[in-house]
Amino acid sequence: MSRNPHYIKMINSSRWRLLRAKKLRSSPICEVCEANGLSTLATEVHHKTPVESVAHELGMRQLMFDYSNLQSLCHACHSEMHRRAFSHSKESIQANNKRATQRFVDNFLNGEE
């Protein structure tokens, strides 16, 4: 993911590991899935405002360790979140739409309930 040395240092720190564990303990269900009426176990913690949206180390540190900036997500929702946030090209938007359609079809065919 990120190659920023400050980011790498923080993401590997015990402070982050503890905060992440605390977040997953208090919100063990993926917040996006939950909003869609699903109960998927969250395995990843996302920063709502990306840590790297600021350039200086102090700002990054504040975003990284701000508990209210965290979101518990499952792997699928986390990947989707980053695809959406970081892909703005026409092709990727079309690809996202295609994926969303496919997901709808899959859900429909799998017939929840």
Residues near Zn ion (CB under 5 A) are 30, 32-33, 40, 46, 74, 77
| Comparison of 30 and 63: residue with beta carbon closer to Zn ion | 30
Residue 60 or 77 having the CB closest to Zn ion: 77
Indicate the residue among 52 and 57 with the shorter CB distance to Zn ion: 52
Rounded to a whole number of angstroms, the minimum distance from the CB of residue 24 to Zn ion is 13
> Counting Cβ atoms within 10 Å, is residue 50 exposed (0-12), middle (13-18) or buried (19+)?
middle
Q: How is residue 93 written in tokens?
A: 């938007």
- According to DSSP, the residues that pair with 44 across neighbouring strands are 73
Of the candidates 62, 61, 22, the residue with the CA atom closest to the CA atom of residue 45: 22
Give the nearest distance from C-beta 33 to Zn ion in angstroms: 3
Q: How far is the CB of 98 from Zn ion (least distance, A)?
A: 20
Q: Which is nearer to Zn ion, 40 or 96 (CB)?
A: 40
Minimum CB separation of residue 40 from Zn ion in Å reads 5
